[in-house]
């Protein structure tokens, strides 16, 4: 089985900006450099034939490059666990790109994504109520901003879970300049 997702990887300057905000709050599991990405579609575990079909179908993905930026921070809470994230704006071009990716995923037989698309980059995760002390962090980084950066490539990643957390490996890149 292959555990896959499709994402945009920010440039190094944006990664550095995000890493510089990730401190304190020892109850959080901070993401590392390789884990910082903007997920367009989580695929989940699929057998090799479906993974190969998806990789081939993504070669038809076409989109114009566009500019986005990091804009603020927030949190998702789900029962006793959650995630701390950096927001992204503008949302419209990302939503359009995610919709194109979604159509391709469904075309190869994946079930439709039921959750609304909320563009963000996960900074940390918690469980067992570990997000209780986030208000000072959220206030301190509310104005977090990056320079604009260009989205011109979608990457298909494989996620391997291990004792140290998830390790992500790029399987294929789908840049806008494929002709």
Three-state SS letters, the chain: CEEEEEEECCCHHHHHHHHHHCCCCCCCEECCHHHCCEEEEEEEEECHHHHHHHHHHHHHCCCCCEEEEEEEEEEEEECCEEEEEEEEECCHHHHHHHHHHHHHHHHCCCCCCCCCCCCEEEEEEECCCCCCCCHHHHHHCCCCECCCEEECEEEEEEEEEECCEEEEEEEEEEECCCC
The yes-or-no verdict on residue 128 having pLDDT over 70 is yes
Q: pLDDT band at residue 132, thresholds of 50, 70 and 90?
A: low
Are 4 and 39 within 8 A, CB to CB? no
* Active-site annotation holds for 120: yes
**Where is pLDDT greater, at 90 or 23?**
90
Q: pLDDT band at residue 20, thresholds of 50, 70 and 90?
A: very high
Catalytic residue among 79, 118, 120, 141: 120
Looking at residues 98-108, what average pLDDT do you find?
Answer: 97
For residues 11 and 142, give the distance between their C-alpha atoms in angstroms, rounded to a whole number: 21
The yes-or-no verdict on residue 130 having pLDDT over 80 is no
Are 42 and 86 within 8 A, CB to CB? no
The yes-or-no verdict on residue 178 having pLDDT over 70 is no
Q: Which tokens in the block code for residue 48?
A: 């090799």
Asked, as a colleague might, if the bond just before 90 is cis with ω within 30 of 0, I would say yes
- Residue of 10, 145, 11 lying closest to 72 (CA atoms): 145
Catalytic residue among 37, 78, 79, 141: 37
Please tell me the pTM assigned to this model: 0.92
* Active-site annotation holds for 37: yes
Q: Which tokens in the block code for residue 72?
A: 């603020």
The pLDDT value recorded for residue 131 is 61
Please write the tens of the pLDDT for every residue from 143-155: 999 999 999 999 9
**Where is pLDDT greater, at 135 or 72?**
72
């Amino acid at each position: 089985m292959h555990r896959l997702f499709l994402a945009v990887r920010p440039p190094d300057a944006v990664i550095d900006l995000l890493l510089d905000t990730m401190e304190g709050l020892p109850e959080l599991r901070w993401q590392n450099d390789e884990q910082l990405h903007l997920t367009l579609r989580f695929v989940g575990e699929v057998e090799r034939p479906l993974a190969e079909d998806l990789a081939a179908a993504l070669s038809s993905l076409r989109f114009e490059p566009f500019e986005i930026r990091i804009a603020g921070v927030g949190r998702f809470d789900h029962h006793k666990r959650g995630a701390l994230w950096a927001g992204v704006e503008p949302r419209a071009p990302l939503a359009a790109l995610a919709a194109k990716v979604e159509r391709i995923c469904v075309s190869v037989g994946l079930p439709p994504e039921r959750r609304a698309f909320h563009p963000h980059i996960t900074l940390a995760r918690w469980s067992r109520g570990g997000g209780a002390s986030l208000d000072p962090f959220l206030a301190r980084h509310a104005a977090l901003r990056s320079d604009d950066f260009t989205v011109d490539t979608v990457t298909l990643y494989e996620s391997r879970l291990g004792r140290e957390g998830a390790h992500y490996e790029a399987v294929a890149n789908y840049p806008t300049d494929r002709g």
